Amino acid sequence: MDTMRDRFIATTSRLLDEEPRTALVLAEISAAGFEQAQRRHPDRVINVGIREQLLIGAGGGIALSGMRPIMHTFASFLVERPFEQVKLDFGHQNTGGVLVSAGASYDWPAGGFTHMSPGDVALLDTLDGWTVHVPGHPDEAEALLRHAVAGDDRVYVRLSQQSNSEARPVTGDRFLTLREGRGPAVVAVGPMLDNVLAATEGLDVSVLYATTVRPFDREAVRAAAGGRGDVVIVEPYLEGTSTTAANDALSDVPHRVLGLGVARRELRRYGTIDEHLAAHGLDPVSLRARISAFAEQGARGAHRRS
Amino acid sequence: MTNTALFSTPTDVRSDLSGDRPGASRPGSSPRFRDLGRLMALMTGDEKHGPAATSTLDALWVLYDRVLRVTPASADAPERDRFLLSKGHGPMAYYAVLAAKGFFPEEWLAGFGSYDSPLGHHPDRVLVPGVEIGSGSLGHGLPLAVGTALGLRAQGLTDSRIWVLIGDAELDEGSNHEAIAYAGPAGLEQLHTLVVDNASATHGWPGGIASRFEAAGWSAQTVDGRDHEALYAAFTAPHPGRPRAVVARVEPKNA
């Protein structure tokens, strides 16, 4: 199977052919994959070199000129390094654009922390009006990318090496309900789904699948949390990133929220993605233990209240 | 120092491209450079202004009066020239020029910086007609101008010129150097950077500001930032295949 990044290159190359208002801005990363597209569209495939502030600033200028910029590099260099450019060159200018990252939280564990970006979504959460897509499969990445490019707003598409075994139908806005149960609503974000499904096998919980996390699907969470108001969010980036959004969705009812994700502490380990998932408690065994404990605490609490 | 009489007989080498220069569209009734002091006083309450407030005044006036092809009527036209004020600090001269050219009513000036005024101490493109970018944080305008040039070129709008004004201290920002280093080799002929040099950069620019642009493949020239004819000549000099930088020297900020 191709990776999400492979699919991004193939899909964006086609979008450049199909849609003359699109422009792609690169800072060396993935440039080799776009050589053909660059030959076909020399004015709309722009590699600015290893210059990430210019990557975002130039994308902002392209948006001001009336086009639809797609900007791409590793998440660390796309969101974290030029963060003020993201904030001012799009939001403050009241323009739109599509940021597409690769690398995610630890797609290249042997590369170390310099190439890890678990905080990207939390950072974007400090800004207004960004839609955040976290696909869990290359097919979903293609669908969400096309959705993003067709619009006019500010969109972040977070691609990862991690992928679920099968693609789900994604709409670009709503969470999907995959299982219904009486216990907590477990929200699995993007590539966390396979582990969450394995972890919750046989548990009496609901499972929601989220590939568009901003805006947060309040209605789906409210409906799935039911009378008990227990929600678990399993995110492939910084732990607790969506806890506030879940709390806000349930602000008028008693509720508990457990946020699972990548720990804040720097691991200082290399190795493999699976080893990092286990270290952060995001493998199926760890998830099952943490979700079960949370569900049991809730059940005991409900029993005491009754 | 400033010879306002020069404005009566502009020779616009680009007049064949467009008849919508503000100065040309309203002969006889056009505001003059000498009106700007009164407009600035509406904001500051002071007829005399420090160098920081007026360092950009002459260069802005020459651009808007004789060079830029943009008017209130064409402020949203895709083929207009763009002026991006990157150095958004001390925008009184900018507001005065925009008001003089009719982009917004003079009455707005008195509210400068107040809660209900669209005119902040840094300009906001969402609030002020004719303002192309919101600025204030240094080092954003030139990268945005590079992207605007790229976007216009990709749309075939190759007659539109993009101008961005930065300060010599603003040039310290690394983002500007990413943009300078890229734009030269990329041959962005539509792009123009105006550096207003009031010697406010802490470590200065050994070798001169223009040399930094020239080393990156730009056409560059340094002129007296109070000499309208010199500014006009530098602004309109041909620079085929290369972006253009004009360094306008004015009196030092701390002199």
Render pLDDT for A122-137 as a digit per residue (tens, 0 to 9): 999 999 999 999 999 9
- The nearest CA of chain B is from the CA of A19 a distance in Å of 12
Residue where a domain terminates, one of A91, A126, A158 = A158
Look at the block and give the residue holding tokens 């065994």: A285
Cβ neighbours around A83 below 10 Å, total: 17
For residue B50, the model assigns a pLDDT of 60
Q: Is A168 inside any structural domain?
A: no
Chain B positions touching A65 (Cβ under 8 A) are 147-148, 150-152, 154-155, 157
Q: Do B150 and A89 touch (CB under 8 A)?
A: no
Residues A45 and A85 in one domain: yes
Look at the block and give the residue holding tokens 């107040």: B114
Residues A8 and A143 in one domain: yes
- The nearest CA of chain B is from the CA of A128 a distance in Å of 15
| Threshold 0.90, pTM exceeds | yes
Evaluate whether B39 touches B109 at the Cβ level (below 8 Å).
yes
Q: Does residue B146 belong to the interface with chain A, where contact is any CB pair within 8 Å?
A: yes
For residue B27, the model assigns a pLDDT of 41
For residue B29, the model assigns a pLDDT of 57
Residues A183 and A153 in one domain: no
Kind of pairing between the strands at A212-214 and B244-249:
unpaired
Per-residue pLDDT for B22 more than 80? no
Per-residue pLDDT for B2 more than 50? no
The structural domain count of chain A equals 2
Evaluate whether A168 touches A31 at the Cβ level (below 8 Å).
no
For residue A267, the model assigns a pLDDT of 96
Report the DSSP beta bridge partners of residue B162. Answer: B82, B191
For residue B3, the model assigns a pLDDT of 37
Where residue A27 sits, what CATH number does that domain have? 3.40.50.970
The token duo for B143 is: 């990268």
For residue A184, the model assigns a pLDDT of 96
| Dihedral over Cα of A67, A73, A77, A80: its sign | positive
Kind of pairing between the strands at B82-85 and B162-167:
parallel
The token duo for A213 is: 């996390």
The token duo for A285 is: 């065994």
Q: What DSSP character marks residue B60?
A: H
**Which string of DSSP letters, residue by residue, matches A41-59?**
-TTTEEE--S-HHHHHHHH
For residue A241, the model assigns a pLDDT of 98
Report pLDDT digits (tens) over A37-74. Answer: 999 999 999 999 999 999 999 999 999 999 999 999 99
Report pLDDT digits (tens) over A240-280. Answer: 999 999 999 999 999 999 999 999 999 999 999 999 999 99
Per-residue pLDDT for B221 more than 80? yes
Give, in words, the CATH class of B45-88+136-249. alpha beta
Evaluate whether A43 touches B153 at the Cβ level (below 8 Å).
yes
Angstrom CA distances, A271 to A277, B59, B76, B118, stand at: 11, 58, 54, 55
From first CA to last CA, the distance across chain B in angstroms is 17
Q: Is A169 inside any structural domain?
A: no
**How far apart are the C-alpha atoms of A66 and A286, rounded to whole Å?**
48
Angstrom CA distances, B133 to A108, A224, B204, stand at: 38, 44, 27
Q: How far is CA B175 from the centre of its chain?
A: 19
**How far apart are the C-alpha atoms of B55 and B225, rounded to whole Å?**
8
H-helix or E-strand containing B201? none
Q: Is A69 helix (H, G, I), strand (E, B) or coil?
A: strand
Nearest residue, CB atoms, B146 vs list A43, A58, A66: A58
Evaluate whether A279 touches A267 at the Cβ level (below 8 Å).
yes
Q: Is A165 inside any structural domain?
A: no
Of B108, B17, B101, B18, nearest in space to B62 by CA: B101
- The nearest CA of chain A is from the CA of B213 a distance in Å of 16
Residues A68 and A97 in one domain: yes
Per-residue pLDDT for B14 more than 80? no
Q: Does residue B158 belong to the interface with chain A, where contact is any CB pair within 8 Å?
A: no
- Mean per-residue pLDDT, A112-128: 98
Pick the range with the lowest mean pLDDT from B6-10, B74-78, B235-239, B251-255: B6-10
Per-residue pLDDT for A165 more than 90? yes
Q: Do B182 and A56 touch (CB under 8 A)?
A: no
The C-alpha torsion from A6 through A12 and A14 to A15, rounded to 10°, is 160
Residues A121 and A205 in one domain: no
Evaluate whether B218 touches B242 at the Cβ level (below 8 Å).
yes
Evaluate whether B94 touches B123 at the Cβ level (below 8 Å).
yes
**How far apart are the C-alpha atoms of A65 and A273, rounded to whole Å?**
41
B115 contact partners, CB below 8 Å, separation of at least 6: none
Size of interface A-B (CB pairs under 8 A): 106
- Mean per-residue pLDDT, A138-160: 98
Per-residue pLDDT for B18 more than 70? no
Higher pLDDT, A298 or A83: A83
Going from N- to C-terminal start, the domains of chain B cover 45-88+136-249
Peptide bond before residue B206 is cis, with ω within 30 degrees of 0: no
Residues A12 and A140 in one domain: yes
Per-residue pLDDT for A203 more than 60? yes
Q: Do B144 and A51 touch (CB under 8 A)?
A: no
Q: Do B144 and A69 touch (CB under 8 A)?
A: no
- Mean per-residue pLDDT, B152-168: 98
For residue B90, the model assigns a pLDDT of 87
User: What type of residue sits at position A277?
Assistant: L
Disruptive mutation site among A45, A54, A128 for chain B (greatest number of B CBs within 10 Å): A54
Cβ neighbours around A237 below 10 Å, total: 26
Residues A91 and A206 in one domain: no
Q: Do A88 and B134 touch (CB under 8 A)?
A: yes
Nearest residue, CB atoms, A59 vs list B133, B147, B175: B147
Percent of chain B exceeding pLDDT 70 equals 85
Where residue A267 sits, what CATH number does that domain have? 3.40.50.920
For residue B52, the model assigns a pLDDT of 59
Report pLDDT digits (tens) over B82-100. Answer: 999 999 988 999 999 999 9
Residues A75 and A132 in one domain: yes
Q: Do A60 and B175 touch (CB under 8 A)?
A: no
Provide the total of helices (H) and of strands (E) in chain A, helices listed first: 12, 12
The token duo for B127 is: 């609030």
Q: What DSSP character marks residue A80?
A: I
For residue A85, the model assigns a pLDDT of 98
Q: Does residue B255 belong to the interface with chain A, where contact is any CB pair within 8 Å?
A: no
User: What type of residue sits at position A11?
Assistant: T
Per-residue pLDDT for B111 more than 50? yes
- The nearest CA of chain A is from the CA of B35 a distance in Å of 31
Residues A79 and A137 in one domain: yes
Per-residue pLDDT for B5 more than 90? no
- Mean per-residue pLDDT, B62-67: 98
- Mean per-residue pLDDT, B222-230: 98
Q: Is A171 inside any structural domain?
A: no
**How far apart are the C-alpha atoms of B86 and B71, rounded to whole Å?**
20
Q: Do B140 and A57 touch (CB under 8 A)?
A: yes
Evaluate whether B162 touches B82 at the Cβ level (below 8 Å).
yes
Please, where are the H alpha helices in A204-263? 218-225, 243-249
Evaluate whether B157 touches B81 at the Cβ level (below 8 Å).
no
Q: Does residue B238 belong to the interface with chain A, where contact is any CB pair within 8 Å?
A: no
Q: Is A71 inside any structural domain?
A: yes
For residue A89, the model assigns a pLDDT of 98
Q: Is A147 inside any structural domain?
A: yes
| B254 — pLDDT class (breaks 50, 70, 90) | confident
Q: Do B140 and A63 touch (CB under 8 A)?
A: no
- The nearest CA of chain B is from the CA of A60 a distance in Å of 6
Residues A143 and A256 in one domain: no
Per-residue pLDDT for A295 more than 60? yes
The token duo for A27 is: 């800072």
Higher pLDDT, B5 or A130: A130
Residues A34 and A115 in one domain: yes
Q: What angle do CA B85, B89, B94 make, to 5 degrees?
A: 50
Disruptive mutation site among A65, A73, A89, A90 for chain B (greatest number of B CBs within 10 Å): A65
H-helix or E-strand containing B245? strand B244-249
Chain B positions touching A44 (Cβ under 8 A) are 154
Q: Is A24 helix (H, G, I), strand (E, B) or coil?
A: strand
Residues A126 and A198 in one domain: no
Mean pLDDT of chain A: 96
- Mean per-residue pLDDT, B190-206: 96
Q: Is A167 inside any structural domain?
A: no
Q: Is A94 inside any structural domain?
A: yes
A39 contact partners, CB below 8 Å, separation of at least 6: none
Pick the range with the lowest mean pLDDT from A219-233, B8-22, B110-124: B8-22
- The nearest CA of chain A is from the CA of B4 a distance in Å of 34
| B134 — pLDDT class (breaks 50, 70, 90) | very high
Rounded to the nearest 5 percent, the helix, strand and coil shares of chain B are 40, 10, 50
Evaluate whether A98 touches A157 at the Cβ level (below 8 Å).
yes
- Domain of A280? 176-305
